[in-house]
């Protein structure tokens, strides 16, 4: 993975161009240095780095209300439901260890406001 990130960073670096843009005022001129590069190569680099630090996180798998990482499952009636990406682990009353994911509907600290039922 690091090899892919370094290769993508090299592509971004090779496409980079430095532009000195004149600015400021006559009394106080200055030059703003701007670096441009290949946008698609830059987006690929960002995607690889994000995937490296958050493996398996597909785009759009953050809660839109609290930005928590989510995992989506299909429910019995074939709709999708968000679960917390982080596991909760513990022992049951027989001493068996379990790792589960909680429904994000139950854990979201900033759930959307629902309209009151009539």
**Residue numbers at the binding site for Zn ion (CB under 5 A):** 63, 65-66, 68, 108
Residue 41 or 84: which CB sits closer to Zn ion? Answer: 84
- Considering the complex, what minimum distance in angstroms separates the CB of residue 79 from Zn ion? 18
DSSP string, 22-82: EEE-SSSEEEEEEEE--HHHHHHHHHHHHHHHSTT--TT-B-TTT--BEEEEE-TTS-EEE
- Considering the complex, what minimum distance in angstroms separates the CB of residue 32 from Zn ion? 39
Closest by CA position to 88, among listed 98, 96, 75: 98
Residue 41 or 63: which CB sits closer to Zn ion? Answer: 63
Q: Which residues pair with 31 in a beta bridge?
A: 22
Residue 48 or 84: which CB sits closer to Zn ion? Answer: 84
- Considering the complex, what minimum distance in angstroms separates the CB of residue 57 from Zn ion? 15
Q: Which residues pair with 70 in a beta bridge?
A: 84
Q: In degrees, to the nearest 5, what angle opens at C-alpha 115 toward C-alphas 75 and 69? A: 45
- Considering the complex, what minimum distance in angstroms separates the CB of residue 65 from Zn ion? 5
Residue 97 or 114: which CB sits closer to Zn ion? Answer: 114
């Amino acid at each position: 993975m690091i090899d892919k990130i370094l290769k993508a960073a090299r592509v971004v670096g090779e496409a980079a161009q430095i532009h000195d843009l004149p600015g400021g005022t006559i009394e106080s001129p200055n030059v703003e240095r701007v670096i441009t590069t290949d946008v698609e190569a830059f987006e690929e680099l960002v995607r690889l780095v994000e995937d490296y630090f958050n493996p398996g996180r597909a785009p759009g798998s953050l809660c839109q209300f609290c930005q928590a990482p989510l995992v989506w499952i299909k429910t019995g009636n074939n709709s999708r439901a968000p679960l917390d990406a982080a596991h909760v682990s513990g022992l049951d009353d027989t001493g068996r260890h379990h790792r589960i994911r909680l429904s994000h509907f139950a854990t979201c600290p900033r759930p959307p406001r629902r309209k009151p039922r009539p």
